[in-house]
Structure 1
Amino acid sequence: MNKYIAFDIGGTNVKHSVLLEDGTFIEKGKYNTRKATIKEFLDDLTATIKGYLQKYEISGIAISLPGFVNVETGYTEDAGAITILNGKNLKTLLENEISCTVEIENDGNCVALAEKFNGNAINCKDFVCITIGTGVGGGLFLNNKIFHGHTFRAGEIGYMLTPRSQTGSEIMSDNGSTSSLIRSYKDYKGLDENEVVEGKVIFQEAENNAEVALLIDKWIEGISFGVFNIAGTLNPEKILIGGGVSAREGFAEKIKEKLELQKEWEFIKVPIETCKHKNDAGMIGALKHFLTQNDIKSKSLY
């Protein structure tokens, strides 16, 4: 069975692995994302690839990357937190250094692809993934394929305007992300904006602090507004919630409780579930994208 190198590139860490084409992991690891210069960023990627090439026969390199990714060319007009890749083509840059085919897809789309590949959407032709993390992202899987949009910007759910937001925090990434919950908690506690606070600390304190529990409640309400809009717009078979916070017991149920408070929900409701894949979703989805792209390319030759 063929082996592939997969990367999930984030603003803080780069996760990497070797997988079989059925999604089985052989080896994986991670390193801190160095992104001050394009050289150091590429040096870390190529060093990791060369290390794997010394140990395995590799059939390709699959990458999950934030931002607006042209999946046909590899060009990123905007690469999110990896600003050094704005206006660059990582596919070309790597293929000039490494004798392997490289395929790149948006990170939110990779989550959706992972769920379709061997997750909680295997039997779905139409579903949406919403990822709750530092920001809010997503992937639209419609008519049995990822919907990229005219300029590869589809699925940018975090840009959705949601109601009852504070001035300056009108979009979902600014009021429905874990970072927005942390920001609200810091404001409530009078903490410096640079102080490090993990989301799990907030949930723990909420067990004995009604005001912190209310912060979480309002935050979940904000997420539910985005879910409501997606359901009403696309009418998918299901909506899957991903991101680290989705692993919390009963998280999807709390979102559904908020949705049930909206009387119109009964007309547009769809199942709300959590994603199967957590930290591995980006790498699994990147692999699925690679396999799909190269199957399309091989068929086009005949």
Structure 2
Amino acid sequence: MMNVLAFDLGGTNIKYGVVSQDGNILTQGKVQTPNQLDDLLFIIKDQLRNYSLYNIEGIAISCPGSVAESGFIYGSSAIPYIHGPNMKKLIEDSTGLAVSIENDANCAALAEVWKGSAVGKSDIAVVVIGTGVGGALIKNGSIHKGNNLHGGEFGYMILNANNLGNGMSTFSDVASTSSIIRRVALQKKISQNLLTGEIIFSDAEKGDEICQEAIADFYYMLAIGLYNIQYVFDPELILIGGGISQRQDLVSEIQDRLMQITDKIDVATLSPTIDSCYFSADANIIGAVHNYMKKTDQIN
């Protein structure tokens, strides 16, 4: 059986792994993200040599940015040198192998459809909660990128515009991990550097009222965003990713807020079906391989 060498390009580290065509990671590792494009190409070729006994047929890449079919990666990220050149062509020319490239959130969504919480689903939304709010849309089993490659950029949605432009807040402003940290730090008059999402949730469980209120409002605003996504896209399932998706009470907390919202809106006859993402650290690698197999017509 032939295998695929996958790379997940992050701002700090590059994760890599050899993945079989049925989605099993055979071996994996990581290296520090280099500062120059030539060094990135060297890492890819070096790992290709290291895993030559694994019958590598192609290379799958997961990365930040808006990825066009042509192989260009638009936007900006913590890896600035990938935005500009045709990365697909560069890597193909350097390795002599077929290459696929896809946005990291889209790869995470594909992993869930292939092997995770969304197996058997055709239309899903994945909402990733982190420093901001990102995500992806899967329509008829494939990534829906949109006309401007911005499909699934949920963080830009406006959730609070009481003053017609003054004090306007986006989904990322009110329902990200950093939004909770900002609020708690402001109320406690301490540096944000002293807080993490884990610390705030832990303090809330110990009875800290400031943390409890911040988390309650976070869940409510998150539920509003998910409600909006449901009525715009009407997916079968909405998955929540990011570090917070590991919390056992996540789904029940969101469902409680969704019930509060739908009870207030008479015409709201539908509430989203919510679940947590199955994958965490390996999602982008597995999804990148799924994307490679779709691009090379090995699966539908």
TM-score normalized by structure 2? 0.89
Residue 246 (structure 1) aligned with residue 251 (structure 2): no
Task: State the Cα distance separating 1:294 from its structure 2 match.
Answer: 0.4
Aligned to 2:107: 110
77, 81, 103: which one aligns with 1:80 = 77
Aligned to 2:235: 236
Unaligned residue ranges in structure 1 (runs of 5+): none
The answer to whether the 8 Å contact 2:2/2:54 transfers is no
Task: State the Cα distance separating 1:75 from its structure 2 match.
Answer: 0.5
Task: State the Cα distance separating 1:25 from its structure 2 match.
Answer: 0.9
Residue 98 (structure 1) aligned with residue 95 (structure 2): yes
Q: Tell me the distance in 1 between the aligned counterparts of 2:94 and 2:64.
A: 22
User: Paired residues, what number?
Assistant: 294
Partner of 1:150, secondary structure, is coil
Q: Tell me the distance in 2 between the aligned counterparts of 1:290 and 1:96.
A: 17
| Matched letter for residue 68 of structure 1 | S
Partner of 2:117, secondary structure, is coil
Listed one character per residue, the Cα deviations across residues 15-70 of structure 1 (whole Å, up to 9, x for unaligned) are: 21111011111111223323x433344444443343333x4220111111111111
Q: Tell me the distance in 2 between the aligned counterparts of 1:233 and 1:89.
A: 33
Distance 1:189 1:45, change over 3 A: farther
Listed one character per residue, the Cα deviations across residues 269-293 of structure 1 (whole Å, up to 9, x for unaligned) are: 1211111111111111111000000
Partner of 2:148, secondary structure, is coil
Superposition map of 1:107-256 within 5 A: 107-163=104-160, 170-193=169-192, 195=193, 197-208=195-206, 209-256=208-255
Q: Tell me the distance in 1 between the aligned counterparts of 2:246 and 2:280.
A: 8
Aligned to 1:52: 51
Q: Tell me the distance in 2 between the aligned counterparts of 1:13 and 1:217.
A: 33
52, 60, 63: which one aligns with 1:62 = 60
Q: Tell me the distance in 1 between the aligned counterparts of 2:87 and 2:211.
A: 43
Aligned to 2:86: 89
Distance 1:5 1:97, change over 3 A: same
When the two chains are superposed, the root-mean-square deviation of aligned CA atoms in Å is 2.4
Unaligned residue ranges in structure 2 (runs of 5+): none
Task: State the Cα distance separating 1:169 from its structure 2 match.
Answer: 7.1
Listed one character per residue, the Cα deviations across residues 116-143 of structure 1 (whole Å, up to 9, x for unaligned) are: 1111111111111111122211111112
Q: Which of 162-171 and 152-161 deviates more? A: 162-171
Q: Tell me the distance in 1 between the aligned counterparts of 2:43 and 2:189.
A: 39
Task: State the Cα distance separating 1:295 from its structure 2 match.
Answer: 0.3
Residue 16 (structure 1) aligned with residue 13 (structure 2): no
The answer to whether the 8 Å contact 1:109/1:139 transfers is yes
The answer to whether the 8 Å contact 1:60/1:101 transfers is yes
Q: Tell me the distance in 1 between the aligned counterparts of 2:214 and 2:41.
A: 41
Identity of aligned residues (%): 36
290, 293, 301: which one aligns with 2:292 = 290
Q: Which of 75-84 and 249-258 deviates more? A: 75-84
Q: Which of 169-178 and 199-208 deviates more? A: 169-178
Partner of 1:112, secondary structure, is helix
Task: State the Cα distance separating 1:249 from its structure 2 match.
Answer: 0.8
Distance 1:267 1:28, change over 3 A: same
TM-score normalized by structure 1? 0.89
Partner of 1:130, secondary structure, is strand
